[in-house]
Amino acid sequence: MRVLMLSKACIVGIYQPKLEAIARRGIDLTVLVPPAWRDERGSQQLERSHSTGYRLRAIPIRFNGNFHLHHYPTLAREIAAAQPQIAHIDEEPYNLATWQALRLARRAGAKSLFFTWQNILRRYPPPFSWGERWVMRRADYALAGTDDAAAVLRQKGFGGPLRTIPQFGASGALFRPVEARPSRPFTIGFIGRVVPEKGVHILLQAAAQLDGEWRLRLVGGGSSVDEMKALAATLEIGGRADFAGQLPSEELPAEYGKIDVLVLPSLTRRNWKEQFGRVLVEAMASGVAVIGSDSGAIPAVVGGAGSIVPEGDVPALARALREVRDDAALRSDLIKRGRARFLAHFTHDSIAEATVEVYRELMDRSSVGASGG
């Protein structure tokens, strides 16, 4: 089965084991990515970390960094060369790249599917609303990262086959518990975009309420880094807060060995709520206790394997941090439950298997249609 995947997300090296797992299941896989992708953290370059068994091709991109308008000028040639039976468009239905890829896939006679994380019912202005409706009417299948995203897609009128499958999980070979943690003060971790909606200021305020010895390690870039450093200084915890900045994805597994709890204090905004929280999965895989707010998909991802606090509630987050720090039995239990949840639901292998099942379903539908059944 020949599958062509278009995915700017797959430039990240720690996401690529899913692609190897798809290829191991007998899929002749070509993955097209841009050479880099720009966002508020800077430019993420293509990492060729896990590319065994499939073809990973970097192709030119126009309007790099523009989520809605980016597209690929050589995509028609790539599709003609690959002759895919299935085009897996790893993009939201309202993006120009999705419309472009779906139109070219249909011209080449390939079945098609797209992916969505959008978990808020948003109405886009023309021409994006026109493109979204066109994609939803013509795509053969849709994947949603969460059940909430699937519900939004149905509300928008998508009537085709739909399945909830996270875009990526984590690699159990890369993210795994360390055998012996070094002696150190209790260390709280945040890994992700340092932007207002991620709630880093809530974490800083909660940490400032803790007594005793503790440290805070924040990994990631974003528009609020300088503001958060200033806030840490104002709260008189600047000496305890280590802002590590943006790191290559292959360095992230080691970061979980440096922390005792991972906190994701996301805040719901009018046009955004937490869509998944991949770092929660990585932490659970790494034997790290997790605390998350109740924004968006976080409670569903944690699923009872961590502590959930009301978003924006500084005292509640401070209490949760004290409990995880001071109750060794609780922390051990959260670690065990988190690792079990990761193995049951969020490995790259399990997500690859579910994705390949969709491919097979698409081909079976195609065979039935061709035979007139």
Q: CA-CA distance, 219 to 232, in Å (whole number)? A: 15
Split at pLDDT 50, 70, 90, the class of 42 is confident
Domain count within the chain: 2
Q: What is the spatial distance between Cα 94 and Cα 98, in angstroms, rounded to a whole number?
A: 7
pLDDT band at 40 (very low <50, low <70, confident <90, very high): confident
Are 217 and 361 contained in the same domain?
Answer: no
Look at residue 175 and tell me if it is in a domain.
no
Quick: pLDDT tens for 327-357: 999 999 999 999 999 999 999 999 999 999 9
Which of 165-179, 214-228, 284-298, 323-337 is least confident?
165-179
Task: Give the domain range for residue 102.
Answer: 2-169+347-371
Q: Is residue 67 part of a domain?
A: yes
Same domain, 132 and 199: no
Cis bond leading into 127, ω under 30°?
yes
Residues 56-68: tens digit of each pLDDT: 999 999 999 999 9
Q: What is the pLDDT of residue 181?
A: 72
pLDDT at 41: 80
- Whether 223 maps to a domain, the answer reads yes
Residue 177 lies in a domain: no
Q: Are residues 221 and 335 in the same domain?
A: yes
Same domain, 334 and 359: no
Confirm if 346 and 290 have CB atoms less than 8 A apart. Answer: no
Q: Are 256 and 262 in contact (CB under 8 A)?
A: yes
Cα separation, 100 vs 301, whole angstroms: 32
Residues 313, 194, single domain; the answer is yes
**Is 34 within the bounds of a domain?**
yes
Four-CA torsion 234, 236, 242, 245, nearest 10 degrees: 0
Closest among 329, 322, 266 to 298, alpha carbons compared = 266
The pLDDT tens digits for 175-195 are 999 877 778 899 999 999 999
- Domain co-membership, 64 together with 163: yes
**Do residues 339 and 354 share a domain?**
no
Query: Do 58 and 133 belong together in one domain?
Result: yes
Q: Does 178 map to a domain? A: no
The pLDDT of residue 373? 41
Chain mean pLDDT for the chain: 95
Q: What share of the chain is helix, strand, coil (3-state, %, to 5)?
A: 40, 20, 40
267 part of a folded domain: yes
Q: Is the same domain home to 96 and 200?
A: no
CATH number, domain containing residue 161: 3.40.50.2000
Q: What would you measure as the largest C-alpha separation in the chain, in angstroms?
A: 72
Residues 26 and 161 in one domain: yes
Distance CA 241, CA 227 (A): 13
Query: How far apart are the C-alpha atoms of 173 and 82, rounded to whole Å?
Result: 31
